[in-house]
Each structure stands twice: as structure tokens, then as C-alpha cells.
Structure 1
Amino acid sequence: MPFAEHPLAETDPHTGRFRSFEQVQTPQAGRTVARWLTVLGLLVLVAGFMPWTQNIRSTGTLTTLRPQDRPQIVPSTIAGRIAAWKVEEGQQVKQGDTLVVITEIKEKYFDPELLARTQEQLQAKISALEENRAKGTALSSQQDALRSGLRISLDKARNKVTQSRLKLNSDEAELQAANNDFSIAQQQLARQEALYAQGLKSLTELEQRRLKFQESTAKRQAVENKLNASRQELLNSQLELSSLQAEYQDKIAKSESDRRSTTAYQFDTEGQIAKMRNELANLSIRAGYYHIRAPQDGYVVRALKAGIGEIVKESEPIVTVMPNTPALAAELYVRPMDVPLLSVGRKVRLQFDGWPALVFSGWPGTSFGTFGGRVAVIDNIDSQGQYRILVTPDPELEPWPKPLRVGSGVYGWALLDDVPIWYELWRQLNGFPPDFVGNSGATGTTGTLGTSKGAKASKGAKDGGGEEEDAK
């Protein structure tokens, strides 16, 4: 093209002095890039208003919700020596299956007939107790007989005292009569002697009177002796009555002492029998500990003791058993600032180690290879600066893979509120925490932000930090 015909020649006459303008053309690639940048900017602007699901990311491991489903170390209850192994590592076992057989190492339990001999000793003690009880019953019967004999003897002694008193009264009356006879005989003798002195009576009559007086004197003396004997007999009866009470009380007290000794021996024997029964029960239970059994259905994971003849101590671990049907749960750890945003029932998405997945944390519906869960437990205390949560499978979603095992790694994110992408970018740039969504997580649903959330975000941006207070 001649220079005079160049479009720039008409607009700028000074360009005619430069021949390089003849080679200059308007580039078409610049226009294309500009168009692409314009379209890309519009797409970014439009994408900024697309929804983004806020979430709390955390990592952890797979565990079990129930403590009984976690790997269990089976210890030896008693000290002993390993005699035989009944299982292999990786073997499936049922509850009650024998894992290890051990033998005694304490000399106290070496006797193979220890249970039978202890049973014999217990039976002998029981027989001795029965005989002692029979002795106690005999002593009680003896006391009853002594009390009955005491009553009879007392009645007999009282009757004898009464008889002696009556006899004494009779002897006193007889003595009174003898005294009267003696007084009359004495008076008659005096008159007879007076008459004999006057010669009115013969010597024979006087001697007869004197003989009668001597008989009356002798009779009175005999009656006095009889009365004294009756008095002594009454005194002896009274003394016998008094001594009889003391004698029987002594016998009864001795019998009571024997009975109480027998009862004390019974109580002591009963205590010994209870102790021997306890010892026999302990021996029977101890005999069951020679076979270490599986506490529940599961798999033998690892033998912590090896070989035959190895000594194990009391409560020393021997083998580890893993239950075969554990209720899996993901054990995740979150920061303290994120704990108030979580609640029991909050939905969580999980990615398991070894399971292929394509994850878009902000768009959980478009992720592939993740599995759903719900928050089941939130610890009330921290663990090394973080709080532990347990996540269980969501019954409304797909089940977790069966090949998962306890201890494998897991990556999870708790789903919170839906916000625009521009708001999430603005929050991340300012370092604000996710929005608090109240109790909406309790039902397992995620809330939506809506226009009010965007308006509030715009207001926060204008206020220079007010959004932080709204998010809290």
C-alpha cells in the first residue's frame, strides 16, 4: 500500500516522515485475548454468586463407637506357665473358645487332688458342726431336766420342812403334857411323903409314888430330847432346802457354761466352714482360669507371649482379639474454635484411606468416593488442644465400605451453611471462622444463607470488621 494511501496518513500528517508505519498492522490476537478475558471475568463474577457449603475439615482414624468393639487385650488372671496354644494369629474364634492353656507355678496349688481334699475337709467340718449342734441340744435338754428336778426337789424339801415343823409342834404339845404330869407327880410325891411322915401311908405306897415320879421325870426328859431332835430335824430340813437351791443352780450354771461353749464352738466352726467354702469356690474358679478363653467373637490379632513353658504374671497381656462385627465410627479431632459450630446429628462427609475419591469440599453433592456420616459424640474436654468427635454412618445414605478396618486413616469435613463463593473467599482472606448456624445441625440438614446473608456480608465489608461479630 502506498504511504499516501495508509489510514494513518490522513489522521496524522507527521507519520509520513516514518517509513516503518508502512509495516504496522492492528493485531487480531489481542482482540481475541481481550474477548476471552472479558468472558472469563464474567464467568468469575457469576461464579462468585454460586453456593458454597462451608465446612470444618479434620483428620483422624477409624475406631468403634462401643468400647467392647475395640481391640481387646486378653490377660492372664493368674500367674502360670504356658502349657499349650490352641489358636493361631488371624484365626477366627467364638466366645468361650480356649486360646491358651496354662499350668500352676505356685506350690500351694501343686496338688492335683486339691479340690477333692478341700471338699473332704469341708465335709468333715460340717459333720463336726452337726455333732456339736446335737451336743448343744443335749445340754439344753439337760438344763430342762435340772430345772424340772430342782422344782421337784424344792417341793420335796418344803414338804419335809413342813413335816418337821408339824412334828415339832406335836413334840412341844407332848412336852407340855409331860411337864404337867411331872408337876402332878411331884405334888403327889410331896403329899405322899407328908402322909408317910404322919404314918398315914405305908412305905410301899410311898415307894410306888416315888417310882411314878421317876417315870414322870424320865418321860419328861424323853419328850424334851424328842423335841430337841425335832428342832434339829426342822433346822436340817431348812438348811437342806437352802443348799438344794444352791446345788441345782451350780449344776444349771455349769450346764449353761458347757452349752455356751458349745455354741461358741458352733459359731467358730460355721466361720471356718464359710472360709473353707470360700476357699473351695476360689479353687474351683481358679481351675477355670487355667484355660484362657476368648471374651467374645472375633479374630486373634497378635500373640503377645510366645513359646511353650514361658512364665506369665497375673494380669499380664497374652493375646489381642479384635471383634469381628464392630460398630465403626470415625474419630476426628477439631479445633476448639470450631467446636461451637458442631452439634450431635450434624452431617459429615468422610474420605477413607485406600478408597478412591474425587473431593470438592464446597460442593459435597459433586464429590465422588466420599461417604456420609453424622456426629454421634462430642467430647466435653479437650485432648492435647483439640476436641474429639465420633462420627457414625448416616442411615439415610449409602453404607460404609465393608473392607474398612479399625485404625485406618480418615479425612472428614462437617457440612455447615451454604454461602456464596465470593463471601467464602472474603471470609478466608479475612481469617473469619465459618458462620454459626444455631440448632439446624441437630436435624442433620444444612441451612442456606440467602440474600440476607449476602447483605449482611456487604454491610460487614463496609463496616470494616463487623462481619466477624455477625459470624460469631
Structure 2
Amino acid sequence: MKLKSTDRIYHIHRDSRVKRWFFIFMGSCLIVLFLPWTQNIKVRGNVSTLYQDQRPQQLNSPIPGRIIKWHVKNGDNIKKGDTILQLAEIKEDYLDPRLVERTQQQVKAKIGVRDYYQAKIGTTNSQLTALNASRELKLSQLKIKVSQLNNKLIGEEAELVAANNELKLSEDQFNRQKKMYEDGLVSLTQFQQRSVSFQNAMAKKTAVENKLAQTRQEISTVNIEQSAAIQDYTEKLSKTEGERFQSMGQIEGNAGDIAKLENQVANYKARQSLYFVLASQEGQVVQLSKAGIGEILKETESIGTIVPKKVDYAVEIYVKPVDLPLLKNGQKVMCIFDGFPAIVFSGWPNTSYGTFTGRVVAIESNISVNGLFKALVIEDKGQKPWPPQIKMGAGVQGIAILNDVPIWYELWRNINGFPPDYYNVKAISTDEKAK
């Protein structure tokens, strides 16, 4: 008896399709083997920026001081120049509330002393002028006196010549008169008269010689007086010149003191402006480390952190040393930011959802402390823009795109343990980096 249930369960009389489906499956696998596969490197990193001024900035106390007022709290958004907190002075050198005013008074006093010495130099210059004029006048007088004595000397020398001639004539006359007297040709009276004339001529010569010697002595005396006057005025001029140079030295010393005091005034004013800690840029205040009023801050001590508001984001990725030769500047990297859902197909990154395209702009040559090499990735302006909600330090997964190969080649490469193929990319130009 033929049972219908047996035919329905075992399909004894139906044709088998296993062979057909086997060939369909094998054909499909063969087709899949020739589909393209994008080689890639999986990396991890975090959100950062290329520019130092856009990184979180630490707030430091520029001077030691005591906190007397807070103007912000954690999480506040501030603008550049806003006051963070106010400090009071704690160093005894700066406790005087009129420190700047008193230092300025010292500057004025030093300026007054400098003006006094400048006036003294003016007086000394007048004294030098007067002494030089007096010296020239005195020397001129002595020169005139010497000239007069020289003229007198010339006259007396001529007078001496005349006296000598007269004496010689009187001597001849006396000798002839004496001989004539001895011969009895003239009387004794005539002889005595001639003898008196001879004696007068001798006396006249002696007087002229004495007068000539006195004139020469006067010339010597005037020359000595002239030398003494030169020495005296030279001493007076040197003393006055020394006083002038001393005053000039005092002025230079005062100029140094004035500059030092003015520098102190400028420093005191600058220090007073440091009592208010200001925001260096626009951003958000976080991680304030001091509790409240009255706490003491040391110099350069950290107060908190400012996270900049405007940031040109970049991604820092870390690459294994074995994968480093595969990474090049300008290489495409698909980024998956933490907190943003994504569907990723490893071999077909272009079909993935929730990924954002970036390009490598720099690869550090020095290995990091974590044993990996760091590379910097920026947004690819020609692709979908990065989400504005990302924050500094957020985690990032990256897929560095390499060469496109068939699936059979990728399977064969993995089975044999070969590395991915090198991927030649066009380096990003300087202009593109700037953009």
C-alpha cells in the first residue's frame, strides 16, 4: 500500500537541487573573490589641534599673593581680558600702598640733583671762560711790559755805547793833557779840569751799565712773573675743570639712579596690574584648583585651565612601528569619533556610515612613551565636515586607507602573513595645510 505521507516527507520522486545550489554558491564565492577590497590600518587616538594657542591653557599666578575675590566659577564661559580673580600683596617689599608715588618722588629728587649739577657745570664753564680771559689779559700785560723793557734795554745799550765812546774820548784827552802837563805845556788847572771830565765819563759809563743791568734784571723778573702767572692760572683752570668733570660724573651717576628708579616705578605699576589675573583668550574655565578667599598663591602656581572656544580640530593617532612605513603625508584616514554612532565595513570604508574623512599632515619621527608613533590628521575639506560637537581629548578610532586589491589577494596575503601594499599618495602642499 502506497503511503502519501512518505512521499510528502522524503520527496522520493522529486529531483534534488543540492547540486544546483552548490554550483551557485561556488560561483558566487568565485565572484566575491574578485570583488575589490580596501586594505587599511586600524589605529586609535584622540581629538587635539595643530595650534598651541588653541590647546587648553593653564592659568598661572604671575606673582605670589593672597586671593581676595573670585570673579568666575568652574564651567563659566569667559572672553579675552575678563578678570578671573583678584590678588592682594603679601611680600613686605610691596606692602606700601603709596609705593609708586614715593618712588616717583625719589625720581623727582634725583632729577633735581641732576639739574643742580647741570647748573653747576654751567657756572663752572663760566668760571673757565673768565679764567681763560683773565689769563690772556695777564699774559698780554706781561708781554707788553717785557716789550717795553726790551725797548728800554735797547735804548740803554745804545746809551752804554755812547758812554763808552765818550769815556774813550775823555781817556785820550786825559792822557794827552797829562803828557802836556808833564811837559809843562798846560797848567795844573787845565789838567785837573780834564781829569774831572775823565772821571765823569767813567762814572757815566758805570751808571749806564748799572741801569742796563737793572733793566735786564727787570726783564728776567717779568719773565719769571709770566711763568708764575701761567702756572697759577693753569692750576686754577685744572681745579675748575676737575670740578666740572666731577659734576659731570655726578650727573652720569644720577642718570643711572634715575633710570633705575624709573625702572622700579614701571615694575611697580606693572606688578599692580598683575593683581588681577585676566583671561588670556576666549573659552571655558575648568579645573579651578583653589577653594576660596584668603588662600595664598605661589608664583607661577596653577589656578585652573581655560579651554579655548574656537579650535581648529585635528586628530592625534598612534601607529605601531610595524605599520609606520605604510603611513604617508596626505594619506586618507576615516575617523570614528566617540559618541557618534557608526556602521563600519572594514574592506569598504566608502560604504561605511558615521565615519569622517581626514588626511595625514605630519608624522612624528620620535617614538612616544607608549611605544607608538604619533601622526596628526586634519579634516578633509572636500568631504563631509567633522561634527562641531567633538571636544578636545575625545577618543577616536581611525582607519588608514591603503591600496585597493581583490579579496582573493587579501586572503592570500593574510594566509601568508604578508604586510599590506604600500600606498603612494600625493603629499599635501603648504597651501592646503594652511587652508
Give the TM-score normalised by the residue count of structure 1: 0.80
Go from structure 1 to structure 2 and tell me whether the alpha carbon gap of 1:347 and 1:25 turns closer, same or farther (over 3 Å shift): closer
- Per the alignment, residue 224 of structure 1 pairs with 209
Specify the alignment match of 1:362 in structure 2: 347
2:107 touches 2:261 (CA, 8 Å); kept in 1?
A: yes
Matched to 2:113, the amino acid is: A
Structure 1 residue 401 corresponds to structure 2 residue 387? yes
- What's the offset of the Cα at 1:269? 1.8
Q: 1:241 aligns with which of 226, 239, 258?
A: 226
Q: How far apart, CA to CA, are the structure 2 residues paired with 1:81 and 1:30?
A: 96
Quote the offset at 1:185 in angstroms: 5.8
Q: Which has the higher contact order (CA 8 A, sep 6+)?
A: 2
Aligned residues: 421
Q: 2:418 aligns with which of 432, 454, 468?
A: 432
Q: Is the contact made by 1:85 and 1:99 (CA closer than 8 Å) also made in structure 2?
A: yes
Pair 1:283–1:442, CA change in 2 (3 A): closer
Partner Cα separation in structure 1 for residue 87 and residue 15 of structure 2: 88
How many angstroms apart in 2 are the aligned matches of 1:67 and 1:37? 62
Query: Is residue 2:264 matched to residue 1:279?
Result: yes
More displaced 10-residue stretch of structure 1: 213-222 or 341-350: 213-222
- Whether 1:323 and 2:323 are equivalent positions in the alignment is no
Which structure 2 residues correspond to residues 313-462 of structure 1 after superposition, within 5 A?
A: 313-384=298-369, 385-440=371-426
- Decide which structure has the larger Cα Rg and report it: 1
Deviations 1:185-207 (A, max 9, x none): 6676774898599696586x788
Q: Is the 8 A contact 2:359 2:380 kept in 1?
A: yes
Q: Distance in 2 between matches of 1:140 and 1:57?
A: 88
Q: Which amino acid aligns with 1:79?
A: P
- 1:254 is aligned to 239
- Deviation of 1:33 after TM superposition, in Å, equals 5.7
**Aligned mates of 2:197, 2:71 — CA distance in 1:** 126
Q: Distance in 2 between matches of 1:441 and 1:28?
A: 68
Structure 1 unaligned blocks of 5 or more: 3-23, 444-472
Query: Which amino acid counterpart does residue 308 of structure 1 have in structure 2?
Result: I
2:383 and 2:133 map into 1 onto residues whose CA distance is 92
CA distance in 1, matches of 2:304, 2:410: 51
Q: How far apart, CA to CA, are the structure 2 residues paired with 1:441 and 1:200?
A: 149
Q: Find out whether 1:119 has 2:104 as its counterpart.
A: yes
Which residue number corresponds to residue 432 of structure 2?
none
Deviations 1:270-325 (A, max 9, x none): 22222222222211211111111100011101212221111111111112100011
Shift of residue 372, structure 1, vs aligned partner: 1.4
Give 2:66's aligned amino acid: R
Q: RMSD between aligned alpha carbons?
A: 3.0
Deviations 1:328-359 (A, max 9, x none): 11111011232222222221111111111111
Cα 1:329–1:280 change in 2 (3 A) is same
Find 1:172's aligned residue among 149, 157, 173. Answer: 157
* 1:78-157 equivalent positions in 2, closer than 5 A: 78-157=63-142
- Where 2:262 maps in the other structure, the secondary structure is helix
Shift of residue 37 of structure 1?
4.6
Change (3 A) 1:184 1:440: closer
- Whether the 8 Å CA contact 1:65–1:328 is kept in 2: the answer is yes
Percent of residue pairs bearing the same amino acid type: 42
C-alpha distance in 2 between matches for 1:71 and 1:227 = 107
Secondary structure at the counterpart of residue 379 of structure 1:
strand
- The residue type paired with residue 150 of structure 1 is R
Q: Name the one with the larger helix percent.
A: 1
Partners of 2:361 and 2:428 within 8 A in 1? no
Equivalence for 2:36: 51
Deviates more, 1:33-42 or 1:323-332: 33-42
Instruction: Give the residue type in structure 2 aligned to 1:335.
Output: K
Write the deviation string for residues 349-390 of structure 1: whole angstroms up to 9, x where unpaired: 111111111111211222111111111221122213321111
What displacement does 1:184 show? Answer: 5.6
The answer (yes or no) to whether the contact 2:330–2:426 under 8 Å persists in 1 is no
1:342, 1:441 within 8 Å by CA — same for their partners in 2?
A: no
SS at match of 2:366: coil
Q: Aligned partners of 1:263, 1:31: CA distance in 2, in Å?
A: 124
d(CA) in 2 for partners of 1:95 and 1:25? 84
Q: Whole-Å Cα distance in 2 between the matches of residues 375 and 96 of structure 1?
A: 35
Q: Contact (CA 8 Å) 2:363, 2:373: kept in 1 or not?
A: yes
Q: Tell whether the 8 Å contact from 1:196 to 1:206 is kept in structure 2 after alignment.
A: no
Secondary structure of 2:323's aligned partner: helix
Task: Tell me how far apart the structure 2 counterparts of residues 282 and 28 of structure 1 sit (CA, whole Å).
Answer: 108
Aligned to 1:464: none
Q: CA, structure 1 residues 208+284, in 2 after alignment: closer, same or farther (shift >3 Å)? A: same
AA aligned opposite 2:117: N
* Distance (whole Å) between structure 1 residues aligned to residue 188 and residue 352 of structure 2: 173
Letter in 2 for 1:419: V
Shift in alpha-carbon separation, 1:30–1:168, aligned structure 2, 3 A: farther
Distance in 2 (alpha carbons) for counterparts of 1:119 and 1:27: 118
* C-alpha contact 1:351 1:357 (8 A) present in aligned 2: yes
Q: Which of 275, 279, 287 is 1:290 aligned to?
A: 275
Q: Secondary structure in 1 aligned to 2:45?
A: strand
Pair 1:356–1:25, CA change in 2 (3 A): closer
* Equivalent-residue separation in structure 2 for 1:441 and 1:177 (angstroms): 121
The aligned amino acid for 2:144 is N
Post-superposition Cα deviations, 1:61-105, rounded to whole Å, max 9, x if no partner, equal: 111121111111011111111111111111111111110111111
Residue 301 of structure 1 is matched in structure 2 by: 286
User: Once structures 1 and 2 are overlaid, which stretch shifts more, 42-51 or 106-115?
Assistant: 42-51
State the alpha-carbon separation in 2 of the partners of residues 306 and 314 from structure 1. 17
In structure 2, the residue corresponding to 1:381 is in which secondary structure?
Answer: strand
Question: Which stretch has the larger CA shift, 420-429 or 108-117?
Answer: 420-429
Which amino acid in the other structure matches residue 393 of structure 1?
E
